[in-house]
């Protein structure tokens, strides 16, 4: 037995996280811990660190620290992981989770395997503009995104184009980048997440993509999106919050 920190490795449609319950194991420096634990070469590896804490008004508070040590306002896939953790650890479902972008409700639809629906913030679509040779549509889902329509998502050199758009000077705090194409009868998406890089899924990004497709008349709600880590479904009507549905997987638990 060690005096280490208990962690739970989880993923939401392949978007993977290390979860720490700070109600019982507070971290002295969560930013340094995130950088260390999310390193895929020297440690467990993850897209981000999920911190579960107490909330004065809701069931729990969630913070998301990206792999580079920056803090995100919101994380749709992370919320699903937190919801599964609370269902199994606290026997509590549904839940309302406090985030930097406001309270977010989540409910368990299935448990074998876990499938969870999250009531995401209402997506707010901005004016399309040109960045790095692409026409991008900005979308605010409690955190910043840009959505880019292309013919084939695999034709995009994500490692080059993603950071160029993420760090464009017009996005003062950076932005999440999503490429979407209609291929072989389905909508396919690739993600470049601010602070994490290429990820297998981005929940709030999926909401942003679906909103752009619905407003543009290209798809009807609910929209099914094929992402590198699986499938995400987004239901949305203008003027309302969006509902994001997807998997939540617990990989393992350990002390670090």
Please list the alpha-helical segments (H only) found in 97-146. Answer: none
Orientation angle between helical segments 76-89 and 203-215, nearest 10 degrees: 130
Residue of 173, 178, 187, 169 whose CA lies nearest to 231: 187
The residues annotated as belonging to the active site are 75, 202
- Please state, in angstroms and rounded to a whole number, the distance separating the CA atoms of residues 156 and 140: 23
- Please state, in angstroms and rounded to a whole number, the distance separating the CA atoms of residues 240 and 38: 35
- Please state, in angstroms and rounded to a whole number, the distance separating the CA atoms of residues 234 and 227: 13
């Amino acid at each position: 037995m060690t005096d280490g920190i208990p962690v739970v490795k989880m993923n939401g449609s392949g978007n993977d996280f290390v979860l720490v319950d700070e109600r019982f194991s507070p971290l002295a420096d969560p930013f340094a811990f995130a950088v260390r634990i999310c390193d895929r070469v020297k440690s467990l590896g993850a897209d981000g660190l999920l911190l579960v804490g107490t909330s004065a008004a809701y069931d729990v508070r969630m913070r998301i620290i990206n792999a580079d040590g920056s803090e995100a306002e919101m994380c749709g896939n992370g919320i699903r992981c937190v919801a599964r953790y609370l269902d199994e650890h606290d026997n509590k479902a549904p839940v309302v989770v406090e985030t930097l972008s406001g309270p977010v409700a989540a409910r368990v639809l299935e448990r074998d395997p876990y499938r969870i629906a999250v009531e995401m913030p209402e997506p707010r679509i901005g004016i399309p503009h040109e960045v790095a040779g692409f026409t991008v549509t900005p979308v605010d889902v409690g955190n910043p995104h840009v959505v880019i329509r292309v013919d084939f998502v695999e034709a995009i050199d994500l490692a080059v184009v993603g950071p160029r758009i993420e760090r464009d000077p017009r996005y003062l705090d950076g932005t999440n980048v999503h490429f979407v194409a209609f291929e072989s009868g389905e909508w396919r998406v690739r993600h470049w997440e601010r602070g994490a890089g290429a990820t297998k899924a981005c929940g709030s990004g999926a909401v942003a993509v679906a909103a752009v497709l619905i407003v543009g008349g290209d798809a009807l709600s609910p929209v099914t999106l094929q992402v590198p880590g699986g499938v995400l479904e987004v239901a949305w009507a203008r003027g309302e919050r969006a509902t994001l549905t997807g998997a939540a997987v617990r990989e393992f638990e350990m002390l670090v």
